[in-house]
Amino acid sequence: MAIKKVMVIGAGQMGAGIAQVCAQSGFEVLLNDRDKDALQAGINGIEKLLTRNVEKDRLTEEEKAATLGRLSLSNTLKDAASCDLVIEAVVENMDVKTAVFRELDMYTPKHTILASNTSSLPITEIAAETKRPDQVIGMHFMNPVPVMKLIEIIRGLQTSDETYEAIQAMSLQLSKIPVEVKDFPGFVSNRILMPMINEAIYTVYEGVATPKDVDQVMKLGMNHPMGPLTLADFIGLDTCLYIMEVLHEGFGDSKYRPCPLLRQYVKAGWLGKKTGKGFYEYR
């Protein structure tokens, strides 16, 4: 079954990026969010990035118009009835995600594949909430989606070969490079990245160095494009905390204990770039 129409749920930084890349690659896209302001902010952000691409001669005016023409907005999951693939990119919370998947299972036709952009949550458990667990899969894009080449594809225990092959082919159509991984907490990407970020937060918490100096060490000493605390602010400190909690609970190992300073920042509403304050200030 060819994938022609895609719904992306969640118009935050990931959902908007995923919708943009799908529309630029020729797919019809419905961008969904339950929050109308977030939906508008998502589409405004896409338009801005497309305009920048035109200014930089990476896209023609016609391609920009065609891309925007393939994008529509939605605020009800019932609209998924017309889609061949749904990619969920809502908050990293199991209860919220499973509620979305249960609804999607009711509204979508039998052939529709249900994918999650989760950073760490078990695909097997999300799949078990539906009557089509063989058609549920993890499609983990990296931030910023239009720039990063990787899609980590996570197979739940029940995911069929047919579903995997359709998503692998779709990833290539998006000009991304898919890598297949098994369904373990944090998969590969965040099992390795997030403990490094958490450790960077511990070094600040223990007074070893300032955020700026921790970032300088990793940028200048290890050639990382962003220091770990800048990256944490960029990802969202709430998302970083949720991922550490999944690793901690999933492996039952104290080496994944979220740093208390990370918890405190999230409690304060200092979520990083998206709220204007995290380890740095953004104005």
Site string for ligand CAA, 211-250 (x = CB under 6 A): --------------xx----x---x---x-----------
10 is in an annotated binding site: yes
User: From CA 276, how far away is CA 160, in angstroms rounded?
Assistant: 42
Catalytic (active site) residue 152: yes
Residue nearest to ligand NAD according to CB distances in the complex: 12
Strands (E), the chain: 5-9, 28-32, 71-74, 85-88, 113-116, 136-141, 150-155, 177-182
Nearest CB to ligand NAD, comparing residues 59 and 112:
112
CB-based contact 112:140 (threshold 8 Å): no
Among the listed residues 238, 226, 175, 152, the one whose alpha carbon sits nearest the alpha carbon of residue 196: 226
196 is in an annotated binding site: no
Rule CB under 6 A: is residue 52 a binding residue for ligand CAA? yes
Catalytic (active site) residue 190: yes
Catalytic (active site) residue 245: no
Among the listed residues 199, 198, 179, the one whose alpha carbon sits nearest the alpha carbon of residue 187: 179
Residues between 92 and 111 with contacts to ligand NAD, criterion CB under 6 A: 92, 96, 100
| List 129, 152, 171, 198, catalytic entry | 152
274 is in an annotated binding site: yes
Catalytic (active site) residue 88: no
DSSP states along 211-241: HHHHHHHHHHHH--SS-HHHHHHHH-HHHHH
What are the tokens at 283?
């104005």
19 is in an annotated binding site: no
Among the listed residues 70, 114, 107, 113, the one whose alpha carbon sits nearest the alpha carbon of residue 89: 114
| List 88, 140, 171, 198, catalytic entry | 140
Closest approach of ligand NAD to the CB of residue 163, in Å: 20
Partner from ligand NAD, ligand CAA, none binding residue 226, C-beta < 5-8 Å depending on class: ligand CAA
Closest approach of ligand CAA to the CB of residue 79, in Å: 26
CB-based contact 60:38 (threshold 8 Å): no
Rule CB under 6 A: is residue 75 a binding residue for ligand CAA? no
| List 116, 119, 120, 198, catalytic entry | 119
Partner from ligand CAA, ligand NAD, none binding residue 131, C-beta < 5-8 Å depending on class: none
Rule CB under 6 A: is residue 149 a binding residue for ligand CAA? no
CB-based contact 266:260 (threshold 8 Å): no
Among the listed residues 169, 70, 156, 150, the one whose alpha carbon sits nearest the alpha carbon of residue 114: 156
SS3 137: strand
User: From CA 164, how far away is CA 176, in angstroms rounded?
Assistant: 15
Hey, which residues are catalytic here?
Answer: 119, 140, 152, 190
Binding residue ranges for NAD(+): 10-15, 33, 92, 97, 119, 143, 274
Site residues (CB under 6 A) for ligand NAD? 9-15, 32-35, 38, 89-92, 96, 100, 117-119, 141, 143, 235-236, 239, 274
